[in-house]
Structure 1
Amino acid sequence: MILFSVFSSIALVSSVMVIRAKNPVHSVLFFILVFFNTSDLLILLGLDFFAMIFLVVYIGAIAILFLFIVMMLNIKIAKIHENVLRYLPVGGIIGVIFLLEIFFIVDNDYIPILPMKLSTTYLTYTVYAEKIQNWTNLETLVAMIGAIVLTMHKTTQVKRQDVFRLLRMFRKTQE
């Protein structure tokens, strides 16, 4: 119980620091710390396989990718923290909704508890059965929108080409 309290409190503090960190690189490093502590919690629950998958997939791939993207995008830190207070009411409303959902789930007696031996099989079946195409479509859509948003830059110094004018000039040189 003591280890659970230690790991969960470190995960909660570092998740708050993900939001509060002024430097995006520090935010990603706190994000990696959240993943480490969550995998420790999974080991305490006896889900060793999920803990290893969590470490390999989330820390090994996604968090390191986030770190490289944040380092390469050249994000202006002052521009990010300029309008933070504008989103505070929306974040508060979403937080209250999440807390209400947690209290509803804890008080609900109708949610069946999965057997411990086959929890991986049942969990996989309930999450992915007959919905795998919907999940992959949603993930692909989010990835496409994210790539478009990250690569769009509003700049006025774009040098554009007039293909038809270039073709006319090329034909004149060929004559």
Structure 2
Amino acid sequence: MEFSLFAFYAFAAVVLFAGIRVITSRNPVHAALYLVLAFFTTGCIWMLMHAEFLAIAIVLVYVGAVMVLFLFVVMMLDINLDRVREGFWQYLPVGLVVGLLMVAEMVVVLNGTYFKLDAAPPPGVPAASFSNTQELARELFTNYVYPFELASLILTLAMVAAVALTLRRRANTARYMKPDEQIAVKAADRMRIVKMQTEKDE
């Protein structure tokens, strides 16, 4: 057995174990830490597939930013675990149905012979000078530059809207937004010209 194949099976086993522990852990902090392990191990699998950019992206974005935020939120909030666990058995049938559908979809996608489809040829080993990040950037900023820019504008708009929604009136000392006053403002209200007499040094 080659080392890459052995590493893939080892990483896949770790991902499965971490994923199961995410949904079975009673402590939300432990579940978040197991999710960090699942993300990091997925990045290792992508490294084996020569997808360096995706591996670094999942480590920096999900492990380094999103999961750290989740951990801070979970640790700072006073979560009543007993109340959260009350609805577990109530939503279990729906969760099982969704899980079975996801498993069936993955089986259909990974096993192309189910629909008598020709399997795609395995990708060859890239050359030593091949850069996965450079090829991805070339595709994004040439063939898909307009969808890429549109997605960035939509995400920026969503971020600004989220910030504006959080700045609503809560108390007299809290900061909040008044969209109606911002829209009705005029140019004369934004700038005032003051005429002052000149002073001469004695």
Q: Quick check: TM above 0.5?
A: yes
Shift of the 136–83 alpha-carbon distance from structure 1 to 2, 3 Å rule, reads: farther
Aligned residues: 148
2:44 pairs with 1:44: no
Amino acid paired to 2:105: E
For residues 9 and 83 of structure 2, the distance between their equivalents in structure 1, rounded to whole angstroms, comes to 37
For residues 97 and 88 of structure 1, the distance between their equivalents in structure 2, rounded to whole angstroms, comes to 14
Of the structure 1 ranges 90-99 and 104-113, higher mean CA displacement relative to structure 2 is found in 104-113
Q: 2:147 aligns with which of 115, 127, 130?
A: 130
Amino acid paired to 2:87: N
Amino acid paired to 1:83: G
Measured after TM superposition, the shift of residue 131 of structure 1 is 6.8
TM-score (normalizing by structure 2): 0.59
Q: Name the one with the larger helix percent.
A: 1
SS of aligned partner of 2:20: helix
Measured after TM superposition, the shift of residue 19 of structure 1 is 0.8
Shift of the 87–134 alpha-carbon distance from structure 1 to 2, 3 Å rule, reads: farther
- The 8 Å contact of residues 19 and 35 in structure 2, kept in 1 or not, is answered as yes
Measured after TM superposition, the shift of residue 24 of structure 1 is 0.7
Question: What is the percent sequence identity of the aligned residues?
Answer: 27
Shift of the 81–124 alpha-carbon distance from structure 1 to 2, 3 Å rule, reads: farther
For residues 98 and 11 of structure 2, the distance between their equivalents in structure 1, rounded to whole angstroms, comes to 25
Equivalence for 1:72: 76
Higher RCO (CA 8 Å, separation ≥ 6 residues) = 1
Equivalence for 1:22: 26
For residues 83 and 99 of structure 1, the distance between their equivalents in structure 2, rounded to whole angstroms, comes to 24
Q: 1:90 aligns with which of 94, 101, 107?
A: 94
Measured after TM superposition, the shift of residue 103 of structure 1 is 2.2
SS of aligned partner of 1:46: coil
Shift of the 131–98 alpha-carbon distance from structure 1 to 2, 3 Å rule, reads: farther
Measured after TM superposition, the shift of residue 136 of structure 1 is 6.0
For residues 101 and 129 of structure 1, the distance between their equivalents in structure 2, rounded to whole angstroms, comes to 31
Equivalence for 1:58: 62
For residues 120 and 155 of structure 2, the distance between their equivalents in structure 1, rounded to whole angstroms, comes to 27
For residues 136 and 110 of structure 1, the distance between their equivalents in structure 2, rounded to whole angstroms, comes to 39
Q: 1:12 aligns with which of 6, 12, 16?
A: 16
For residues 104 and 87 of structure 1, the distance between their equivalents in structure 2, rounded to whole angstroms, comes to 26
Provide structure 2 residue ranges, at least 5 long, that are not aligned to the other structure: 173-202
TM-score (normalizing by structure 1): 0.68
Q: 1:101 aligns with which of 75, 80, 105?
A: 105
Shift of the 79–32 alpha-carbon distance from structure 1 to 2, 3 Å rule, reads: same
